[in-house]
Amino acid sequence: MRRMTTEGAVRTAAAVVAALGVVLFVAGVLPGPVAFVLGAALALGLAAYEGAVAWRHRDEAARFALSHGWEHLPRTAAYSTRFEGYPFDRGGRAYQTDVLRGSYGGARCATFTHVVAQESVDSRGKTSETRQTYQVTLAELDVDLPRVDIVPESLAGRVAQAFGGVDIEVESHAFNERWRVIAKDVRYGHDVVDPRMIARLLEHDVEGLSIRIDGGAVMVWSVGREGVRTLARRLNVVTGIARRIPAHVVREYTDRGHGVADPDAPLTGPAWATTPGVLTSGRYTGVGVDADGDGVEDWAQAPPEDTAGTLGSDGPAR
Amino acid sequence: MEWFLIAILVIAVIIVIWAIAAYNGLVRLRNLVQEAWRQIDVELQRRHDLIPNLVETVKGYAKHERETLEAVTQARTIAAAPGSSPAEQAQQENILTQALGRLFAVAEAYPDLKANQNFMQLQQELTNTEDRIAAGRRFYNANVRTLNTRIETFPTMLIANMFGFHREEYFETEDAARQAPNVQF
């Protein structure tokens, strides 16, 4: 069982105090105005604490990026539509904060806090927003593999299986007791969870984590924020799993055309397609066009004086 | 009396529904086992198809290794023959694997052969096929395990015996393949 973080303990304590206050108020022990003031103070205190936690988290991330040569993005929505399933399908407004991107163990990795903000309107028409945060850490793959979820086995999972829920059972009883494997293609799920993967997933550092292979990445996610103190552990898990995906599975899906292009690779193609600014230069008149017959394609000509500085112009080529 | 009859009827309906579900489950599992076997068969066939090309490539460089080449060809012919049960097929494939192992060991003595592009590509394809066969075997054995467990556990065994469901064979390696080779320098 995972140890509760300090933030989790504070939130739990606040929830207990709030529940106690409600009970005392309902029981008539706590007068209404006093309960209201105490409740407002608790809410303000918790909001201030959350703000301080978020600021500290951002500061840690920025310092980590600076000292390790990683990229730090305070906020983005780039990952909101890339992945399926919980917690990316919660609805509402989703974005990522404190995104750290870099290289670890030979793989391109990233970690970020995924925030889902949901608005609700109460009976008096007042709008309020609740936010749920999840810490996601991922390792990029060179191939886009179908989704497979490997989640800790639970009572709810066993009940679901009794009523037809999916759980791919492998040859290790210890693994089957500890993990539930969910994949639409049972054969594919079985291929991914091979003996090497089973051995890795029986180690202690993956306890309590939910793992997913999807969208060209291996990811682990958990509720709440996790700082850079636990980043090495999470990165070890995702890169370890990525390395253990069987070679024949990678090859099969690469051959099917699911290979992921290296974003750092130089662009390939004709010069007119890979030279920046060609299409907005005002000189583009078509592929291979050489209207004046001087042996140089029109787009590569020096800009004509009468169209200089005009964007998107379709003026005649010289 | 009326309530008693209703209770008996409800219990009977539940038992019938359970029996239908158990029967259908066994049919699904049996079909899954057969399908898993067919998938292994596809990969085995692929391996059989690669071997003649491999033998011809090796023959061009290692003309004097006739015995080894004939062993591979003979093992391939036996393995590719239809009509074997999973256990028999496993045994034949193990013999073929051992013959291929001896062939690749022989190839080590011919540097020109090892550098041959066609040979290297065939070796890579065979390795990939072996991986896929191993994965297919795991999947097949997992389905056989599930089917055999259902057939042997109570109360599903009642339905299994009634409708003639039987244990399936695993696709296993030979005992010799499990022993570590004795290497002497």
Burial of A161 (0-12, 13-18, 19+ CB in 10 A): middle
Model confidence band, residue B8 (pLDDT cutoffs 50, 70, 90)? very high
In this prediction, residue B10 carries a pLDDT of: 95
Mutate to test the interface with B, among A191, A197, A244 (most CBs of B within 10 A): A191
User: What percent of chain A has a predicted confidence (pLDDT) above 90?
Assistant: 28
Least confident among A160-174, A197-211, B97-111: A160-174
Q: Residue B26: what pLDDT?
A: 93
Q: To the nearest whole number, what is the mean pLDDT of chain B?
A: 86
- Which parts of B62-110 fold into alpha helices (H)? 66-80, 86-107
Report the residue from A169, A171, A248 with minimal CB separation from B135. A248
Which helix (H) or strand (E) segment holds residue A183: the answer is strand A179-183
Instruction: Judge contact between B48 and B79, C-beta under 8 A.
Output: yes
**Rounded percentage of chain B residues whose pLDDT exceeds 90:** 34
Question: Smallest CA–CA separation between B28 and chain A, in Å?
Answer: 13
Contact check, Cβ <8 Å, B128/A171: no
Is the pLDDT at A55 greater than 60? The verdict is yes
Flag the least confident range among A1-10, A136-145, B80-89: A1-10
**CA of B29 vs chain A CAs: smallest distance (Å):** 13
Over range A87-112, report the average pLDDT: 88
26-45 in chain B: CB under 8 A from chain A: 36, 39
pTM score, whole prediction:
0.70
What pLDDT is recorded for position A315?
Answer: 40
Tokens of B85: 């049960």
- Among residues A265, A267, A248, A253, the alpha carbon closest in space to that of A108 is found at A265
Q: Is A259 on the interface with B (CB under 8 A)?
A: no
- Beta strand A148-152 with A210-214 is antiparallel
Give me the residue label for tokens 């591979």.
Answer: B72
pLDDT (mean) for B68-89? 86
- Alpha helices for chain A (secondary structure H): 6-26, 32-68, 155-162, 173-178, 186-192, 195-201, 231-243, 247-253, 271-274
Q: Is the pLDDT of residue A221 over 60?
A: yes
Task: Tell me the domain boundaries of chain A.
Answer: 1-69, 70-119+128-265
ipTM of the complex: 0.71
Rounded distance between C-alpha atoms, residue A298 and residue A291, angstroms? 7
Least confident of A313-317, B11-15, B50-54, B107-111: A313-317
Res B153: pLDDT: 93
pLDDT at residue number A313:
40
- CB-nearest partner of B131 from A170, A190, A248: A248
- Sequence-distant (≥ 6) Cβ neighbours of residue A45 within 8 angstroms: A14
Say which DSSP state A298 is in.
Answer: G
* A270 vs B104, residue with greater confidence: B104
Q: 3-state class of A21 per DSSP?
A: helix
CA-to-CA dists, residue B37 to A36, A141, A280, B75, B177, angstroms? 69, 31, 58, 20, 21
Across residues A152-157, what is the average pLDDT? 83
pLDDT in tens, B47-63: 888 888 888 888 887 77
A102 beta partners: A109
Size of interface A-B (CB pairs under 8 A): 29
Q: Say what the pLDDT of residue A25 is.
A: 83
Place of tokens 């300090």: A6
User: How far is the alpha carbon of A182 from chain B, nearest alpha carbon, in Å?
Assistant: 15
Longest dimension (CA), chain B: 92
